[in-house]
């Protein structure tokens, strides 16, 4: 008999629970309708009631948000701490690597200086340059060039190299009195002799109106890998040697391309290098004896 009492109590209390739930539901519906009618009849009273409830609830809500905000700040600080530790470790590795490269560069510079003094080598004087601002962008589907506000009166001349922060942009193809036209590396008519990486492989950088010019006139089975540095070779005396151009990117269908070091969409100022090309008309005129003079 005692074992049956819990089941009997549950059966007797079930109707009571159902009646209580229905009563609560009906009460909530009636209260909702009452508030709606009250809001329609007395808007001012409802607004005051809402304001009073908000005033009472605001401090409690604000107090409840403080622990959450403190917890979020703590998580943010912990994340930043872990990020700083990883960043610090990365910077330490970078500093160690740069120190090794610095020591290597110093040794190579001293060795190079010794060799230059032994050979009495005189490199090309290309320290002289003129700075110019890009005043017009003539790039289009078939032409990749810019106009700068430096001309012959400023020392610019046809064939001179144009650089941005020491990196090759192109060469001057037309020099006026006050302005010059610079043909970019990506133009279809651009041809630049270059040297690739430490292997010193020679090639011609050929523009094809794409963002990455291709390499042409390569030797058979060239030792070329992605990421290798490309600089000007100075062959033909048209451009100075050693100007940074770009890096090799993965070739497609056996065609090697170069990612330029310059963002051609953000060109503002260029430096036009005053480099006397080999076989320039001025040099040839100076070397030839004057007509009627002694030889």
At residue 258, does pLDDT exceed 90? yes
In the predicted model, what is the mean pLDDT of residues 128-136? 91
In this prediction, residue 288 has a pLDDT band, given cuts at 50, 70 and 90, of very low
Mean pLDDT of the chain: 80
* DSSP bridge partners of 168: 163
Q: What is the pLDDT of residue 77?
A: 84
Residue 232 CA: distances (Å) to CA of 94, 156, 160, 190: 29, 20, 13, 13
Measured CA to CA, the distance from residue 280 to residue 295 in angstroms comes to: 22
Angle at 14 between CA 13 and CA 20, to 5 degrees: 90
Which of the four CATH numbers 3.40.50.1820, 2.40.10.340, 2.60.120.10, 2.60.40.3120 does domain 129-278 have? 2.40.10.340
Q: What tens digit of pLDDT does each residue of 75-107 get? A: 888 888 888 888 898 999 999 999 989 889 888
Q: What confidence category does residue 276 fall into, taking pLDDT thresholds of 50, 70 and 90?
A: low
Counting residues of the chain whose pLDDT is more than 70, the rounded percentage is: 75
How does DSSP assign 15-84, residue by residue? HHHHHHHHHHHHHHHHHHHHHHHHHHH-HHHHHHHHHHHHHHHHHHHHHHHHHHHHHHHHHHHHHHHHHH
Residue 121 tokens read as: 């080598």
Predicted confidence band of residue 37 (pLDDT cuts 50, 70, 90): low
pLDDT band at 63 (very low <50, low <70, confident <90, very high): confident
Number of H helices, E strands in the chain: 3, 12
User: Going along the chain, which residue ranges are E strands?
Assistant: 129-137, 145-148, 161-164, 167-175, 180-184, 191-196, 201-206, 214-216, 229-232, 244-252, 255-260, 269-273
Q: Beta partners for 260?
A: 246
Reported confidence tier of residue 142, pLDDT bands at 50, 70, 90:
confident
Domain ranges of the chain: 15-122, 129-278
- pLDDT beyond 80 at 286: no
pLDDT digits (tens, 9 = 90+) for 155-189: 999 999 999 999 999 999 999 999 999 999 999 99
At residue 84, the pLDDT reads 87
**Which comes out higher in pLDDT, residue 158 or 12?**
158
pLDDT at 81: 83
pLDDT at 261: 95
Which residues face 180 on adjacent strands? Answer: 148, 175
């Amino acid at each position: 008999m005692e074992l049956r009492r819990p089941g009997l109590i549950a059966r007797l209390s079930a109707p009571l629970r159902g009646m209580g739930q229905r009563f609560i539901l009906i009460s909530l519906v009636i209260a909702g309708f009452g508030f709606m009618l009250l809001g329609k009849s007395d808007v001012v009273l409802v607004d005051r009631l809402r304001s009073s409830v908000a005033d009472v609830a605001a401090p409690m809500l604000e107090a409840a948000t403080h622990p959450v905000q403190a917890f979020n700040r703590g998580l943010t600080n912990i994340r930043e701490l872990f990020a700083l530790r990883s960043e610090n470790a990365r910077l330490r590795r970078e500093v160690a690597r740069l120190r090794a490269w610095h020591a290597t560069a110093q040794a190579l510079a001293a060795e190079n200086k010794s060799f230059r003094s032994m050979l009495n080598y005189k490199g090309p004087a290309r320290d002289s340059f003129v700075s110019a601002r890009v005043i017009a962008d003539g790039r289009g589907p078939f032409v990749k060039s810019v106009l700068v506000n430096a001309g012959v009166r400023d020392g610019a001349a046809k064939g001179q190299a144009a650089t941005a922060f020491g990196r090759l942009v192109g060469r001057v193809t037309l020099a006026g009195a006050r302005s010059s036209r610079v043909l970019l590396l990506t133009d279809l008519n651009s041809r630049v002799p270059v040297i690739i990486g430490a292997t010193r492989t020679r090639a011609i950088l050929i523009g094809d109106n794409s963002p990455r010019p291709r390499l042409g006139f390569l030797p058979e089975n060239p030792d070329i890998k992605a990421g290798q540095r490309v600089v000007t070779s100075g062959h033909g005396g048209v451009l100075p040697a050693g100007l940074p151009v770009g890096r090799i990117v993965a070739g497609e269908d056996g065609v090697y391309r170069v990612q330029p070091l310059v963002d051609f969409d953000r060109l503002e100022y260029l430096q036009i290098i005053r480099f006397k090309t080999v076989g320039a008309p001025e040099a040839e005129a100076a070397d030839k004896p004057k007509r009627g003079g002694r030889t």
